[in-house]
Amino acid sequence: MPGFLQKSTIFPIIILLSFCAISAVSMDYLTFEKINQHKQQIGEFIQLNYQLSVALFYLACCIFINSPIPLAALFKLLGGFFFGFYLGAFFNITATFLACILGFLLSRYTFKNSFEKKYYHRLKKVEDDIEHNGFYYLLSLRFIMIVPYFLTNILAGISRISFSKYVYSTAIGVIPASLMYANAGSKLEQISSPSELISIEIILAFTLIALLSLLPALHKKLF
């Protein structure tokens, strides 16, 4: 049996592949206690299979950022936890950006008809605004993180926003949260619960940034 498929590496593969996390059984493994408990084991797996681990990290982000299953944030935390702040931040930013581009392209060119039937009613009232000020709207949504990324990707894909505006707003918009997750992940051993990762100051800062990003759109609309 190959070294990376031995029993001692089953848990790292579950974490990195993430597919088993969909089931209730695997969800029980994705806890702070379990991750800390298996940190050395997972770290050894990553060192022995670094390129594979990075590829699986990108794959997991692409899947869960475009899925209603709420595991994308956990994997971005693990990026900081296992790769350190700097590499974790780089992997988080690029993986999130690529996942959002993929979600947009799938929404616009592959599943457009089915997504329009399901989600267009949410977009209809603001479609004209999004066409003209979509850059600022999407930027604020990325910053404030109230609307899940997968839904933002779908709505942008079925809207009339240009691809270039979507790319620019996404490239800028995913940076703050990706840095926050990488930083929090690098300090994961120092916390005892997920609630310690996000403070009221961080929430207020992200809200302020999102509001500021909307000012140009509001100025155009009012004046």
Q: What is the pLDDT of residues 83-112, one digit of tens each?
A: 999 999 999 999 999 999 999 999 998 888
Mean pLDDT value across residues 119-124: 71
Q: Determine contact, residues 48/3, Cβ cutoff 8 Å.
A: yes
Whether pLDDT at 70 is above 60 = yes
In this prediction the pTM is 0.77
Confidence of residue 1 (pLDDT cuts 50, 70, 90): very low
Structure tokens at 150: 């997968």
Q: What is the pLDDT of residues 133-164, one digit of tens each?
A: 788 888 888 887 788 899 889 888 988 888 99
Tokens 């206690």 — which residue? 33
| The predicted structure's pLDDT at residue 211 | 62
- Determine whether 81 is exposed, middle or buried from the number of CB atoms within 10 Å of its CB (0-12, 13-18, 19+): buried
Whether pLDDT at 223 is above 70 = no
- Looking at the chain, list the stretches that DSSP marks H as alpha helix, in order from N- to C-terminal side: 10-17, 24-27, 32-37, 39-48, 50-65, 72-105, 112-123, 127-144, 149-158, 163-173, 175-186, 200-222
Residues 190/196/198/201 CA torsion (nearest 10 deg): -100
Containing structural domain, residue 52: 3-222
Arithmetic mean of pLDDT over the chain: 76
Distance CA 62, CA 81 (A): 19
Q: What is the phi-psi region of residue 18: left when phi exceeds 0, alpha when psi lies from -120 to 50, beta otherwise?
A: left
Residue 98 CA from chain centroid, whole number:
10
What residues have CB less than 8 Å from 28, skipping those under 6 apart?
A: 34
Task: Please state the domain count of the chain.
Answer: 1
First CA to last CA across the chain, in angstroms?
A: 69
